Amino acid sequence: MEFLEKKLADYCENHTSPESELLSKLNRDTHVKVVSSRMLSGHLQGRLLSFISKLQKPKFIVEVGTYTGYSALCLAEGLSENGKLISIDVNEETSFYAQSFINQSAYKNNIELVIADAKTIIPNISEPIDLVFIDADKKNYLEYYHLIIEKLNVGGLIIADNVLWSGKITMLACDMDRETLALHEFNNFIQHDARVENMLLPIRDGLMVIRKK
Q: Is 24 within a domain?
A: yes
pTM of the shown model: 0.96
Which percentage of the chain shows pLDDT scores above 90?
91
Q: Tally the domains of the chain.
A: 1
Region 163-183 average pLDDT = 93
Mean pLDDT, residues 52-64 taken together? 98
Expressed in angstroms, the distance from the first to the final Cα of the chain is: 33
Report the pLDDT value the prediction gives residue 1, as an integer from 0 to 100. Answer: 60
The CATH number for 192's domain is 3.40.50.150
The verdict on residue 1 lying in a domain is no
* Percentage of the residues of the chain whose pLDDT score is greater than 70: 99
In contact, 130 and 52? CB cutoff 8 Å:
no
Please report how many Cα atoms fall inside a 13 Å half-sphere around the Cα of residue 34, on the Cβ side.
24
For residue 106, being part of any structural domain is answered with yes
Q: Examine residue 137 and state whether it is found in any structural domain, yes or no.
A: yes
Mean pLDDT of 134-138: 97
pLDDT at 2: 64
- Per-residue pLDDT of 37-47, as tens digits, reads 888 999 999 99
The pLDDT tens digits for 9-54 are: 899 999 999 999 999 999 999 999 888 888 899 999 999 999 999 9
Establish if 89 belongs to a structural domain. Answer: yes
Domain of 167?
Answer: 6-212
